[in-house]
Structure formats: structure tokens, C-alpha cells
């Protein structure tokens, strides 16, 4: 199968509701990372085959295909088509999936994927409720005989779903509050250390994410639940935010033609569904499916990003998977950084690939819950580490200049080894530990290295590696329960019947 590579990933800062990005037109918000993507990499944007952006509540300034409007607002070529998709919170992660699939299928070589959301301009769920009420529709479900026959009058609400998860997995308010506090602590530490600097393109005077704040435990403990009689408070929920992000996805042929340096290879993409009333639990099934499909376990995964829509989403997922939370959302999550709905999937992937690069982590996994009881999952494999085991830095070794030079050398070997017609070639994965996920060895003999050519020399990393970890107090979980081949049975058991 053809490979798909992430060449670069960039995002705006995430602005708080009514914060520094609130007055920016959504088209201009989307345009900013799109323009920056090509400014950073020196690629002719006319070479792009298509643009795919995620966005929810596509009304008003986000109507009429915001992906196309944003692309044109960025001053980019009219010849490039664009489309906007809505998979709710997973929209921009799905955009990356569609881009990767287009490249893997051989129908396209260079695709831009990302997302945008300005929640300050148009309130969350406005299209679901207020926009259609004058037309006689209170919500997307009332009046559907098929939906009512299957799910009755059960509330379709993320708040209700979060409460159901807390109840099912026995999560205490204290544990969820501690998780939320840790998210802020990690985000504050990452921001102070400059770990987001390489991925953020400042906009309108905003240079950093506006959401993280010093937690006040006493104040958090006094917050009233969102749902009367429940446990979930605003402190355990993701923040209403504004932002945009974009990634450039390329085939091997495009890498060779445009002399690009990949950041990572897209190892796996998929999505799964679960109970739409509980709504937020599908990352459990999605993770099991991805690991079973790839023959991997969570032991193979070095870094994980799972969207913190609510604290119980991650804690229930951890209880089921036995995941080591020290490698989950290491720089904080949406509880601290914010959740600009249609942009969050791309924001998570941007943060994941940059942190993988900074640490020298081989595999990264991303998953997120979505309305309708769905979840996307993506596994990335760091490009330079795939290519040559000799370049793996030890702790503290991956300085920016050092890793940049190593990446350049590997990139030249990669280009020399590409088939002259740009055909498929699996990049061999190397690892100090056995992994069933390693790519097969190349089918072709090594070619003589080509003369040096101009190469994109983006900064390869940020600060030196550091084992950044913050303990999280939560309910005890068994050792890693998701193992290769074991996920399918659990998925079947969970999804066979509605609770």
C-alpha cells in the first residue's frame, strides 16, 4: 500500500471564549494556518490536489464551504478545490483520515487537512437547536419515528453522556477534579517551557493558548454540577474556544518531487461507533479496534492524545485500557487548552506530532469522542526514527540543531531510495523493542545517493528530551488490558446491544 506522510502541522493559539481571537472572521481564522503551512515549507500551493477542513454549525460566516472560503481568504490559488466536513468534534481528525486515504489510494498526492471553529461568534450547537426552531424543528431527533423506536426519549446530550460514564465506571468527583487540575498543570508547564512554540503561528497579538490557568482547588470543589444531582462541573469540561489548525499530507511521490522532509508516517486510520446516548465512550472501542487491526498493544505506543471533552472520557478509557496516564496528554488537554470543536482533531494531531518529534517518540496514538457515539483513531509513526536506528537520541540528546542535521541526512537517503516513478515503498521501521507494527523491508535495492538539493530545513524539534510526567489520582485500573488481538471481542461485546 502507498504511504501517507505528515509534512508539517501548524495551528493558531487556542483563544478563550470572547478572548483574543473572538473578533476574527472564521474565514480569516481558517486562512491563517493554511497560509502559514506554505510559508514555512516553500511549496507551490497550486500543487495541492484538495483541501479538507472540519467545522461544526456551518451557518452564517461558516456557511458556503468554509474550507473553500478560508483557502481563498488566505490568498491561495483558485485552482485548488476544498470541502468542509462535519463529524462533530472529530471533524478535523476525520479530515486527516480522508486526506491520508486519498493519498494511500493513489488518487491524490498532496492534500491539506485541518479544521476551524470560532465558538465566540456562533454558540455551540446553534445549528442543532436555535437555527431550526423557526422552521418547526426543536432538535435533530424529535419527530423521527425510527429514532424514537430505538432510543425513546432518552436525552441526547454530552452532559448526560458524561454523567452516565461517571456512573458506569464509578468515577468520583474528587478523581475527576484531580484529572482536570493535572490538565491545567501540564498545560501551564508546557507553555512556560515553550513546548508549543514550534506548532503555533501567532495571530492578532495572541502568541499562546489562552485557556490554561492556575487551578484553585477550593473554588473547584465549590462549583455546582452542570446537571442537578450530578457530579460533572464546568471544571471537568473542555473550554469553549476559538482556533484553527492545518496539516500537509503527502505521498512518497510528492515528497520526492517537492524535496520535502516528512515529520511522520500515518500508520493507521479508522473510526468506530458506540452508544449514542452515552455518546462519549467510543474511544474505548476505537482504540481496541486500531490496536487489533495493527497487531499492536498500548505498550508499543509512546505518546497518546485523547480529547478531554470531559474528565470521565479519559478516565473511563483508562480504566478499560489500563493505559499509563504519564504518556497521555502530556502537555495538557482540552480541559486546559480548550476545544474549538471543528479544529480540535487537527490541533491534537499537530501537538502530538510535534511532541513526538521533540521527544523522539516512535509511535503516537490519537482518539477522540464525537456526538452520535463515535470516535476516530489515528496512529502515527515518527519518520526519522523509522529510517535509521543509529539516529535515535538518548535522553537529553535531541537538540534542535542535532536532530535537524540527522533528519536532513535521513531525508537525502529517503529520496535516493524512492522508486523513480514515485511508486509505493514501505519505509522500514526500526525499534529497540520488538513490534508487530514494523513496516516490511523495502523491496528495492538501495540506490546511489543523489546530489544534495535544497531541502526544507524546518526546525526538527524544540527543547531537549525530558521525561515530563505528572501523576494523576484516579481509580485503580488493571495492567494494560488492550492487547493485540484482544480488542475485537470487547468491541463486539460492547456494541452488540444498547444498554
At 144 the three-state DSSP class reads coil
How far apart CA 144 and CA 158 sit, in angstroms, is 20
Specify the DSSP element, H or E, that contains 102: helix 91-105
How far apart CA 154 and CA 157 sit, in angstroms, is 9
At 305 the three-state DSSP class reads strand
Q: Which residues pair with 376 in a beta bridge?
A: 271, 368
Residues forming the active site: 89, 339, 369
Which residues contact residue 283 at a Cβ distance below 8 angstroms, ignoring those fewer than 6 apart? 306, 313, 317, 367, 368, 369, 375, 377
Dihedral of the alpha carbons of 472, 478, 479, 483, in degrees to the nearest 10: -120
How far apart CA 242 and CA 19 sit, in angstroms, is 8
Q: How do strand 15-16 and strand 82-85 relate by DSSP bridges?
A: unpaired
DSSP string, 183-247: HHHHHHHHHHTTTTTTTB--BTTB-S-S------HHHHHHPPPSSTT-S--GGGBPPPEEEEEEE
- Give start and end residues of each alpha helix (H) in 360-439: 383-387, 400-417
At 127 the three-state DSSP class reads coil
Dihedral of the alpha carbons of 314, 318, 324, 329, in degrees to the nearest 10: -10
At 356 the three-state DSSP class reads helix
447: phi then psi, degrees, rounded to nearest 5: -100, 160
Biggest alpha carbon distance in the chain? 70
DSSP string, 22-43: TTS-HHHHHHHHHHHHHHHH--
Amino acid at each position: 500500500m502507498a504511504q501517507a506522510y505528515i509534512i508539517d502541522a501548524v495551528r493558531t493559539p487556542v483563544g478563550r471564549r470572547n478572548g483574543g481571537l473572538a473578533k476574527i472572521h472564521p474565514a480569516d481564522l481558517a486562512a491563517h494556518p493554511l497560509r502559514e503551512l506554505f510559508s514555512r515549507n516553500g511549496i507551490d500551493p497550486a500543487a495541492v490536489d484538495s483541501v479538507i477542513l472540519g467545522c461544526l454549525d456551518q451557518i452564517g460566516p461558516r456557511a458556503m464551504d468554509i474550507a473553500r472560503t478560508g483557502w481563498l481568504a488566505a490568498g491561495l490559488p483558485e485552482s485548488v478545490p476544498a470541502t468542509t466536513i462535519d463529524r462533530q468534534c472529530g471533524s478535523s481528525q476525520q479530515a486527516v483520515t480522508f486526506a491520508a486515504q486519498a493519498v494511500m489510494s493513489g488518487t491524490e498526492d498532496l492534500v491539506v487537512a485541518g479544521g476551524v471553529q470560532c465558538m465566540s461568534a456562533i454558540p455551540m450547537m446553534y445549528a442543532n437547536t436555535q437555527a431550526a426552531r423557526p422552521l418547526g424543528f426543536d432538535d435533530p431527533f424529535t419527530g423521527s419515528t425510527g429514532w424514537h423506536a430505538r432510543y425513546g426519549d432518552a436525552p441526547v446530550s454530552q452532559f448526560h453522556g458524561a454523567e452516565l460514564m461517571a456512573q458506569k465506571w464509578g468515577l468520583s468527583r474528587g478523581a475527576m477534579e484531580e484529572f482536570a487540575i493535572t490538565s491545567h498543570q501540564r498545560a501551564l508547564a508546557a507553555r512556560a517551557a515553550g513546548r508549543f512554540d514550534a506548532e503555533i503561528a501567532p495571530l492578532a497579538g495572541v502568541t499562546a493558548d489562552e485557556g490554561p490557568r492556575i487551578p484553585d482547588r477550593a473554588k473547584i470543589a465549590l462549583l455546582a454540577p452542570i446537571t442537578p444531582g450530578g457530579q460533572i462541573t464546568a471544571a471537568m469540561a473542555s473550554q469553549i474556544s476559538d482556533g484553527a489548525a492545518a496539516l500537509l499530507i503527502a505521498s512518497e511521490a510528492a515528497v520526492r518531487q517537492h524535496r520535502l522532509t516528512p515529520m511522520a508516517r500515518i500508520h493507521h486510520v479508522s473510526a468506530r461507533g458506540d452508544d449514542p446516548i452515552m455518546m462519549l465512550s467510543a474511544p474505548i472501542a476505537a482504540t481496541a479496534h486500531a490496536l487489533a487491526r495493527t497487531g499492536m498493544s498500548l505498550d508499543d505506543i509512546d505518546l497518546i492524545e485523547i480529547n478531554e471533552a470531559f474528565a470521565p472520557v479519559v478516565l473511563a478509557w483508562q480504566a478499560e485500557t489500563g493505559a499509563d496516564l504519564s504518556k497521555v496528554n502530556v502537555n495538557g488537554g482540552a480541559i486546559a487548552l480548550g476545544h474549538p470543536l471543528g479544529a480540535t482533531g487537527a490541533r491534537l494531531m499537530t501537538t502530538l506530532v510535534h511532541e513526538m518529534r521533540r521527544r523522539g517518540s516512535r509511535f503516537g496514538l490519537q482518539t477522540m469522542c464525537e456526538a452520535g457515539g463515535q470516535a476516530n483513531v489515528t496512529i502515527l509513526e515518527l519518520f526519522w526514527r523509522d529510517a535509521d536506528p543509529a539516529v535515535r537520541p538518548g535522553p537529553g540528546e535531541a537538540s534542535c540543531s542535532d536532530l535537524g542535521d540527522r533528519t536532513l541526512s535521513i531525508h537525502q537517503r529517503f529520496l535516493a531510495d524512492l522508486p523513480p516513478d514515485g511508486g509505493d515503498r514501505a519505509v522500514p521501521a526500526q525499534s529497540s523493542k520488538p513490534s508487530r507494527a514494523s513496516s516490511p523491508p523495502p523491496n528495492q535495492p538501495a540506490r546511489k545517493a543523489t546530489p544534495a538539493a535544497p531541502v526544507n530545513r524546518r526546525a526538527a524539534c524544540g527543547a531537549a528530551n525530558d521525561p515530563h510526567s505528572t501523576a494523576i489520582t484516579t481509580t485503580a485500573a488493571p495492567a494494560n488490558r488492550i492487547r493485540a488481538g484482544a480488542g475485537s471481542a470487547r468491541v463486539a461485546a460492547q456494541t452488540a446491544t444498547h444498554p
